[in-house]
Structure 1
Amino acid sequence: MKWIISLVTFIVASSIGFILSNNFISNANQQASYYQTMQVANDTDRMNYLMSTSVGRTGINKAKIHAVDSVKLDELNENYQYIERTREEYTMHTETYTTTDSKGNSTTHTRTYWSWDYAGSESKQAKYVTVNGFKIKSIAIDLPQYDLDLKDNMFNKNIEYGIIFKHKGSVRGNYYYAGADTRYKYSFTPVDSKLTLFAVLGKNKISPLQGENKINTTKQTVKQVKEDYNESAKSAHLIYVVSFVLSLLLSIGAWFACNEINKQY
């Protein structure tokens, strides 16, 4: 009987594993093929040609992205494609906890601690950017953001104006301290970037890939991205081996479980 249960366990587990593995591998292969069959634009002329022919899915290698109407904050020296100021407050927190001694007596304790907590933010973003000279709305493209290094001569330390910055503060690390219990940090996207884009090229139009909300960007080249997807598709086939081993282990486990039950009776 235990051999039958073990065999049935193996068949059921391996069947489920095969179906799931097959779906996973199929999706990986489709994804690899989706990127592998894309057109590639290595320069502006090639991109413009592919747009004029409405070629569709395209990887645009190291495109020059420029903010048409860059933005800035009063306290910063530079302009940006995107800039965000986040306020943090040094806040005291109180919490209670209970301990129980060896006799079962409970005692309630109060603990206080301080932490820097989010206290709001505001941001500005350019309305338009150009991709190799072609103008699109900035909200249509997913551009990376970075922490702003305030020590790198990018910060006006002598400010005494504005609704928020009424007094001189100090710069420590990537934070501007307006006082002992208030500080600000910044994240930004530079005016000019050089990134690889994956998009749908149409007649005078650059759109996100199907199923995406924004045009994807990466620091990798189109070739590198294609190679990554191909490697993922190849590695996905290992899931068949994993599925088989797991099914075999479950089958062996079922055999031992039945054996232990038989011993008890």
Structure 2
Amino acid sequence: MKTVFITGANKGIGFETAKQFAQKDYYVYLGSRDIGKGIQAISELNNEGLQNVETIEIDVSNDASIEKASKTLEEKISKLDILINNAGIRGDFPQYPSTANVGMIRKVYNTNLFGTIKVIQSFLPLLKLSPAPRIVNITSGLASLTLHNDPGWKYYPIKGAAYGPSKTALNAYTIALAYELRDTPFKVNVVDPGYTATDFNQHRRTKDVSEAAAFIIKYATIGDDGPSGKYFSDDNNPLTFESPW
């Protein structure tokens, strides 16, 4: 049975992604910063007849927590097939570049960028034991420099000093990692699941988490001939993985 670890998976898109993976007969490790919420999420999945799920406590903004989670996982499995870095925070809004609190910006970067890097580095030994390892970093259209310079883009006015730039940096890191691993079986990509109704945006959108999760899984399970170091979006934006991001 293939294995997958998903950060920030006790609710929202992460939870739905865990659910859909479990339905596809993957063994799913559901990462949760709050272990109580993780246990509650597992109970909900168990009640739906899904037993191939476990929760592991992980706070991606805390190096010690990440290392503990990776060691816990190493004691449970001989390899990890898929890592999905879904955990992220928005930070306080508005995020005017001229006045945004630098401490808040650091906090967002610590979770969205540095935390993700630490998770990848900590879980790489297990991923390298898989014959076809996959890493998906969840990004956002708000990370795109190309779109932010296009006045015709529907989200053109939505700019900020923390969230979008943290994801821009994550995109850049993903390209660098994919290049480093280019001669290995790894596939490393960034996926923008689109503007989905979750707690993250106070459920202000109509797109359902089931759609977002299915899109993530599509690129988390690409074949050996699939691309690496690319960007995929499900938000009807004009970019493709062949366009400047």
Q: Indicate the TM-score class for this superposition, using the shorter chain for normalisation.
A: under 0.3
- Higher RCO, Cα 8 Å, sep 6+: 1
TM-score (norm 2): 0.24
TM-score (norm 1): 0.22
Higher strand share: 1
Higher helix share: 2
